[in-house]
Copies of this chain bind each other. A is one copy, B any other.
Amino acid sequence: MLKVAVVGTGFIGSVHAKNLACHPGAELVAVNDVNLESAERIAATTGARVVANVTEIFDSKDVEAVLIATPTDTHVDYLECAAQAGKAIYCEKPIGLYYQEAEQAVSVVQATGVPVMLGFNRRFDASHVAVKQAIDQGEVGKIEIVQLTNRGPRPPSIEYIKVSGGQMRDQTIHFFDLLRWLTNDEPVQVYAIGAALVNAAIGEAGDVDTSIVSLQMASGALCQIDSSRRAAYGYDERIEIFGSDGLVESRRQNFRGMSVYKGRKIIEDGLHPNWFERIEQSYYQALDAFVGAVTQGIAPSPSLEDGLKAQLLADQATDSLKTGRPVRVTK
């Protein structure tokens, strides 16, 4: 049983805490949040102890692993503290607000040798995993076109937008990671177009809410990623990989299997209303992979390196958005 503490019990931290409480190979021993009540609520239903001061978490002898689910601006600090305390780490993405602070934190953490996994949970979605397996088994041959879609369902608050780093760093980053993971390939050039079509205030805040990114991969493959902060029909996330021998896709998924046939129409119950319902299971699967890797002494994946690479792409896509020009991907 891996003894885990959760730092940050907001929405995602709570999800992780409950998953840890149910996991047969893990024990949730402690929870911490600046909002004490939030931590206490989680403690009440899971039996974990509340730790008021985060440094105590890092000092606790019985904590073997720390799950960091606090706001992004604390990540680099907590990553370094946890690593220096010798804890295994599961850290929500991104590593940090800025590439340079992230890169520096990574070098500090890597020096300690502790196992770290970055929370790109979409890599653990059952259908996405099946796509990856199909690719790796050569089902589609040499990859030629990648199409990634992620839309909606609703834009976050303007307050959130302002500190989010922008759509590329906050939303599209998951798909930069999926792209690298699925293709076993690296982008060499990125071009992005975008606009604030959903909410003009997002544009006034210097961000976009609707965007298309075109990428060229080292192998010559082409990729397009379209992102929207709003979809009027639920949460729409899809993967399509087109190769020399065929196509593999992770389709849109209905939230239940009911259809009505009437007049000249077929009316199905549609997509999941929120992104969380669509990918909820992947959080448990990601945690399961982390617990398995740490207890077996294997390096967890996705790594901090993966986190840096996705973050670099997000930065360079943001540059392209701002300058209107294609950007070569270089560190």
Contact = CB atoms under 8 A, between A and B. Distances in A.
A271 to B, nearest CB: 7
Given A259-B249, A264-B273, A268-B266, A151 B231 contact: no
Interface stretch (A98-106, A115-123, A136-144, A293-301): A136-144
A9 interface: no
B224 A195 contact: no
Given A142-B197, A212-B214, A130 B191 contact: no
Contact of A326 (B134, B247, B249, B324): B324
Interface in A198-251: 198, 210-212, 214, 216, 220-224, 226, 228, 230-234, 236, 242-251
Contacts of A259: 248-249, 251
Given A191-B326, A226-B222, A325-B325, A260 B231 contact: no
A253 interface: yes
A194 interface: yes
- Give the size range of A's interface with the partner: 35 or more
Nearest to A220: B195
A114 interface: no
Nearest to A217: B195
Interface in A121-161: 126-127, 130-131, 134, 139-142, 144-145, 147, 149, 151
Given A145-B212, A212-B224, A232-B243, 13 more contacts: A127-B257, A127-B258, A147-B226, A193-B214, A232-B245, A232-B261, A233-B246, A234-B261, A245-B262, A246-B263, A247-B260, A264-B270, A267-B267
26 contacts: A127-B258, A139-B262, A144-B197, A145-B228, A147-B226, A195-B216, A195-B222, A198-B244, A212-B222, A212-B224, A214-B224, A224-B224, A230-B244, A232-B246, A233-B246, A233-B265, A233-B266, A234-B264, A247-B262, A250-B258, A254-B266, A264-B269, A265-B269, A267-B267, A325-B325, A325-B326
